[in-house]
Amino acid sequence: MPTFISINGVDVDQDDPCALYQALYSVKLRILAGEHVEELQIQSPVTRELMRFSAANIKLLDVELMRLASVCSAKDGKRQRYAKTMRFAGGRQCL
19-33 pLDDT per residue, tens:
999 999 988 888 888
The string of pLDDT tens digits covering residues 52-79 is 777 778 888 899 999 999 888 888 776 6
The Cα–Cα gap between 14 and 5 comes to 6
Q: How far is CA 27 from CA 1, 10, 64, 74, in A?
A: 26, 11, 12, 23
pTM strictly above 0.95: no
pLDDT of residue 42: 84
Confidence of residue 95 (pLDDT cuts 50, 70, 90): low
Whole-number average pLDDT of the chain: 80
Q: How far apart are the first and last CA of the chain?
A: 69
